Structure 1
Amino acid sequence: MMRHELLHQYKTILPGLGLSILVAIIAKICAIFLPDLGGATLAILFGIVLGNIFFKQEVLEVGTKFSESVLLEYSVVLLGFTVTFQTISRLGLNGLGYIMAMMATVIISAILIGKRLGFSDNMSTMMAGGNAVCGSSAIGAIAPSIGAKDEEKGQVITLVNLLGTVMMLTLPLLGAMLYGNHLLANSALLGGTLQSVGQVVAGASLVNQETVSYAMLFKITRILFLVVVVFVFQQRAKKKGTMQVKNLKKVSIPWYVIAFLIVCILNSGVKLPHFFNDGAHQIGTWFETIALAAIGLRLDFKKFMKEGLSFLTYGVLVGLVQTLAALLFIYLFKIS
């Protein structure tokens, strides 16, 4: 019975995973002739075009979701083999201050804007957490802690993902205009604002691979604050009397963040053979490219048109605050 279930699971994953791998291979080949764009950028661009024109079949859904989430998580872990404490130290206290200022600004502004536009407190709180920390994952952790309804959670996840998609495609261009090839400034802009891990990787890949590494350091720092953010929102909901005891849920740091930190500690304390680091980098890059192809394939532009004006207004305003705050704090904290 177990074998039959596993076989069925593999069969449901294979079509979407196979398509994601194929798009990634094509992108890698094309990158030979278009080195300035690179395989990662081409993978997401090809995915967007193919996904919106040809590949909308439901049979692909499970496999592309697997490619986007699971493979991306493993690529984050493998990224740890290219990062040491010396790399992390470049962020310094200024980098930590930048992240904390960004998160506080996004949380407060998202709640205030949501209240002003007439959204429920639960929706505003989830919007705040999703944008401040790590998108859908944060919303999934916050929702039961504040007693939010499934319908509210689904609506906010959709809005946060739409906002993240727009910012993922536009912020790299803004960063190039304002900061040129400045590594830390571009990394802080992307890693400090974009909602999901996939969007950070995708957006940073439009710049270069080194930006991916540093942007992920900013992003992982935000994710480490997830437990704190959920706890604060939980206490806030208690004071408002909107949370019931049965809705309490234990919140933990995502496994791949812990694994990344362990690998990073190992890489910092032990001199690993070059072939080991190079192998991890190559495998991680392929996982990342396949995941980016899947992100592109799953990006449905029709969703942008289906959302109501108030939802889109909310997303645009929060996105503007995030972007302006990032530019201000990069300057104030001298991220360089």
Structure 2
Amino acid sequence: MASLSQLRISAKSLFPGLLLAVTIAAAAKFLSEHYGAPVMLFALLIGMAFNFMADQEATGEGVVFASKTVLRLGIVLLGARITLGDIAGIGASGLLTVAGLMAATIGFGFLCARVFSRGWRFAILTGGSVAICGASAALALAAVIPANDKTERNVLFTVVAVTTLSTIAMIIYPVLFGFAGLSDAQSGFLIGATVHDVAQVVGAGYSISTEAGDTATIVKLLRVTLLPVVLIIVALSVARKESGFSHVRLPLFVVGFGVLTLANSTGLIPGPAATLLVDASSWFLVTAIAALGVRTNMKAMLDLGWRHVAVIVAETVFLLTLAWAAVSIGLAGV
């Protein structure tokens, strides 16, 4: 009975902040569906407008819960939209090319961070989000990396930056590839390999043709599929750096993500259930982003300076250049 009573007290303390985050998420979803702008960006901006509620006693605890626990649940459920069978058509050449592009981009992120005097945490956040799947990757990586006093604002900056760059790329890349005389398959591969967020990949790919859209979606899903691999590598590297391999413990949400991905890949999750889980993941992630927005002070974001922008723009240009070179010499198999 005591534990039940504690649970009720905890739920009561969390409810106002959770309700705030969910309400912001619902508003962001509505605006995104009616105006065609990225839902993550709406959630962030609306959340920031409610920053004054972050430290209030009634809402503070629930907002923190939404930005951490709900975030991890959303990442776990991301596994329900990934299946290894979807990427079989790319072949070994495409798989190796995409993996190589991701590894090179993350490595380049460390170089950029050093050049522009940013820390290694920021290098992993930006390099990983550009290389893998934008905002979702940034949130997942942030949950693995040991936090410091700059973590939250760096995460928010990364989410805003990759979402903005993805939207710009969705408009510019199809035109650019068309002028360059690339085939639909080549354009689709480049869009899937370089645009950060899934929604913008789909929009850019199918704006060219069905073939380009299908190729872009499969390549993008391949990048998303490699997210748990990157999370495991980062988690092991951080654990070794701090306490050695004897104390390595993978976060439970990483394990859950991997298990759900394998279950979906082997057909253990029925189609309707997978769709439901993916929808739930979307809501959880948008709710978490809304909560992070509430916890973000706009002045602190503005204090980050131009070097943050330079790092993520350089990583984006590097990925596009490298992917284009791979397509030009035939490494992508398209």
Partner of 2:238: 230
Per-residue CA deviation, residues 200-221 of structure 1 (Å, 9 max, x unaligned), is: xxx5456669698566335444
Partner of 2:63: 64
Partner of 2:110: 107
Which sections of structure 1, spanning at least 5 residues, go unmatched?
Answer: 115-122, 142-152, 192-202, 235-242
247, 254, 257: which is aligned to 2:254?
A: 257
Give identity over the alignment, percent: 19
CA RMSD of aligned residues (A): 3.8
Partner of 1:167: 161
Per-residue CA deviation, residues 273-310 of structure 1 (Å, 9 max, x unaligned), is: 333223323333332343343344344322123x3xxx
Displacement, 1:101? 0.6
Displacement, 1:99? 1.1
Partner of 2:311: 318
1:81 maps to a residue whose letter is A
Displacement, 1:95? 1.1
Alignment of 1:82 with 2:81, yes or no, is yes
Displacement, 1:106? 1.2
Judged with a 3 Å threshold, the aligned counterparts in structure 2 of structure 1 residues 250 and 177 are, in CA distance, closer, same or farther, namely farther
Partner of 1:96: 99
Per-residue CA deviation, residues 44-84 of structure 1 (Å, 9 max, x unaligned), is: 51552354257534233332232233223223322322321
Judged with a 3 Å threshold, the aligned counterparts in structure 2 of structure 1 residues 15 and 168 are, in CA distance, closer, same or farther, namely farther
Is the CA contact (8 Å cut-off) linking 2:236 and 2:250 kept in structure 1?
A: no
TM-score with structure 1 setting the length: 0.68
Is the CA contact (8 Å cut-off) linking 1:81 and 1:263 kept in structure 2?
A: yes
Is the CA contact (8 Å cut-off) linking 2:70 and 2:284 kept in structure 1?
A: yes
Give 1:196-235 correspondences, 5 Å limit. Answer: 204-205=198-199, 216-217=224-225, 219-227=227-235, 229-230=237-238, 234=241
Q: Distance in 2 between matches of 1:163 and 1:27?
A: 18
1:269 maps to a residue whose letter is T
Is the CA contact (8 Å cut-off) linking 2:16 and 2:62 kept in structure 1?
A: yes
Partner of 1:136: 142
Alignment of 1:286 with 2:287, yes or no, is no
Is the CA contact (8 Å cut-off) linking 2:170 and 2:195 kept in structure 1?
A: no
Displacement, 1:104? 1.4
Partner of 1:6: 7
Three-state SS of the structure 1 residue aligned to 2:231 is helix
Displacement, 1:266? 1.9
Q: Distance in 2 between matches of 1:255 and 1:98?
A: 28
TM-score with structure 2 setting the length: 0.68
